[in-house]
Amino acid sequence: MKVRCVKLLDSNGRETTTSYWLRLDGVYEVLSLCMDLAGGVFVQLIGEKDPNPGFYPLKQFEVVDGFMSRNWVVHMRSDGGLHIGPAPWMVPGFWERYFEGDADAKETFERERLRISEGGDAVDK
């Protein structure tokens, strides 16, 4: 799945003209999707200047490629929200280990990211 940035939002959700993380018209590969109980939908992707993934409101983007990776699963979070992405990333503590620099978590992230990027595992929307 790929999205194009159509507007930039600051941390308070207000439109802005610049962003450290995204650029207007930039096309990004979606690594996972997250939906919260308040109706917010967020895409996880790697932005412009930080090599680590982050979540961004979907309302900043338009979908340019709706194919979803076969390595995505649906996970119901403890708060009732949904997270759709690679199963290994749904394991409790995975993201804490990743951001603490755990080598196994980094390797797992990269393996699943490459599966998404290769596109050979894509299924129709």
Domain housing 28: 2-123
> Residue range 57-83: average pLDDT?
92
Task: Kindly provide the residue ranges of all beta strands, DSSP E only, lying in the chain, ordered along the sequence.
Answer: 2-5, 8-9, 15-16, 27-29, 32-35, 41-46, 53-57, 61-65, 68-69, 72-76, 82-86, 122-123
Predicted TM-score of the model (pTM): 0.87
Residue 107 is encoded by which pair of tokens? Answer: 């390797």
The reported pLDDT for the residue numbered 33 is 95
Average pLDDT, the chain: 90
Total number of domains constituting the chain: 1
Instruction: Indicate the pLDDT class of residue 125, thresholds 50, 70 and 90.
Output: very low
Using the predicted structure, report yes or no on whether residue 61 has a pLDDT greater than 90.
yes
**Which is more confidently placed, 63 or 19?**
63
Distance between CA 42 and CA 32 in Å, rounded? 9
> Three-state SS for 69?
strand
Q: Highest mean pLDDT: which of 15-24, 84-93, 115-124?
A: 84-93
